[in-house]
Structure 1
């Protein structure tokens, strides 16, 4: 064999060794982000977790975020036993702080739905809003108590120009009104609460409620979303040799499992390279 041909062969073998060495590095999927454990189907970044969730949940600068077409939201908690995540809209109001809001929604086809126990409360709605003509508000006694408590017990309601009222629910005339959005409307497309379209000033979401008269201290504010449990990892399947990688992803689903070269293959390639270099030295002498 000519020396140039042998040199080309040696170069190719060296590249193969480098490629196989880089492939042996462990795929890094962080086990947590911002103090929140990341178990399957969620992951810290692209290539981790189930592919269907990668565009919605991501870890950025130590914070776990939830992404939808309406904005970026902080993930407050994940309850794996109930398949629920709780997120916080930075433009959402609470009893202690109120501000004008835009919209919040889920895209069609998302592996999330609004949890049935969410109370989405629209505040400062115009009397001409389609909410009332279309009967989109919950008319139960509990819904009326929620609105009355917000209007009576939350001083922050004045921050959006609303005067506290003894009857905030569906006020008449020019009085700002309150509406607990019917939960059934959030179970069908377009899965969105659009405040400007509904002629409302702001909204809040309550996923846990203590005393009805203590909205500032005993209510839990946030948006609870149920995620599709069919994507959770089967308990019957062992984690195998790389548990952290399994928690983050399954290769067949995310298509991101790195190739791991056998150390015997790397050793064989190295021996082949030594043989080639020895032959080159003999030919050159």
Structure 2
């Protein structure tokens, strides 16, 4: 083999080593546990490979790890809080009407959730619509309308609702006589879009507990959107998180979506203190990852190859610039 071929083969090996020393697709580090003041626990995550694959790429943490957002088909929405005991997220929508707008209606867009995800828009939300076209939307006091047309009761937008008469966080009604308000719960995203085609704007109000513990009266109306989520608890995840088993973090392989327990030493399919994990580590086969050579190791291998090349070249008998078969490296 000529010197040119030898060097070409050498650089091919070098490239392979460097590629192997790059980070793998699975996470062997512990995942970030918060974004700003919002705790990020299973099933959610802001690092790929952490949490449940059901919610992969759904949450975004930006602005130096201070701003949490939920990604949906209709846009990105700031997350106000996450409850894991009563599984739901509270979102704010800067495009919706607010008290500061009064009767100055801005262009808005309808909020939507992908029906294929494990999120659902909560039934605890109420929607207020403003300045709807009375020829296309039934805007009437709901109790009276329901008495006259019980079969069409659900299609009416209640103009006498409590929320229209007591706009949350506004110190009472801030709407002038030129503005109409009605309350209606859309049955689907499509009906919300249709309402917005015939109304100037809308806003969403959810009901939260005020901490008084008075049952149905322990409710306060706030602007925003409540989104419920499913909590996919598995025995593997519980075992992984068990502190006596090593206190790992539940995650998944980013290629196969198979469960992984993320430990400080690497990834494993069971739990961090699994004796078999140590055996796998000794043979260089950590579950869910590619066996990698460290950067320092790569540098050492490269140095060794250079040393070997110099040694061979020093001893190699060369005739007319062509090496003999006796001193070929490959």
- 2:175 matches 1:157: yes
TM-score by length of 2: 0.60
Partner residue, 2:165: 148
Q: Which runs of 5+ in 2 are unaligned?
A: 140-151, 213-218, 261-266, 268-287, 316-330
Count residues with an aligned counterpart: 257
Which of 38, 42, 45 is 2:44 aligned to? 42
In the TM superposition, residue 33 of structure 1 has moved relative to its aligned partner by 1.8
- Which protein has the larger Cα radius of gyration, Structure 1 or Structure 2? 2
- Aligned mates of 1:96, 1:30 — CA distance in 2: 36
2:70 aligned counterpart, secondary structure: strand
- Aligned mates of 1:208, 1:96 — CA distance in 2: 22
Q: Alpha-carbon deviations, 1:153-200, whole Å to 9, x = none?
A: 524324x953xxxxxxxxxxxxx2412x23xx43x4547455532424
Paired residues of 2:46 and 2:61 also in contact (CA < 8 A): yes
- 2:278 matches 1:278: no
Paired residues of 1:43 and 1:49 also in contact (CA < 8 A): yes
2:312 aligned counterpart, secondary structure: helix
- Aligned mates of 1:267, 1:209 — CA distance in 2: 57
Partner residue, 1:136: 155
Q: Which has the higher contact order (CA 8 A, sep 6+)?
A: 1
Partner residue, 2:232: 230
- Aligned mates of 1:218, 1:145 — CA distance in 2: 12
Q: Judging changes above 3 Å, is the alpha-carbon distance between structure 1 residues 54 and 134 closer, same or farther for their aligned structure 2 residues?
A: farther
Q: Judging changes above 3 Å, is the alpha-carbon distance between structure 1 residues 120 and 189 closer, same or farther for their aligned structure 2 residues?
A: closer
- Aligned mates of 1:260, 1:111 — CA distance in 2: 31
User: Counterparts in 2 of 1:162-181, with a 5 A limit?
Assistant: 162=179, 176-179=180-183, 181=184
**What is the RMSD computed on CA atoms of the aligned residues?**
4.4
Paired residues of 1:122 and 1:204 also in contact (CA < 8 A): no
Q: Alpha-carbon deviations, 1:184-222, whole Å to 9, x = none?
A: x43x454745553242433232232669xxxxx953221
1:128 aligned counterpart, secondary structure: coil
Which of 81, 93, 96 is 2:97 aligned to? 93
Paired residues of 1:104 and 1:194 also in contact (CA < 8 A): no
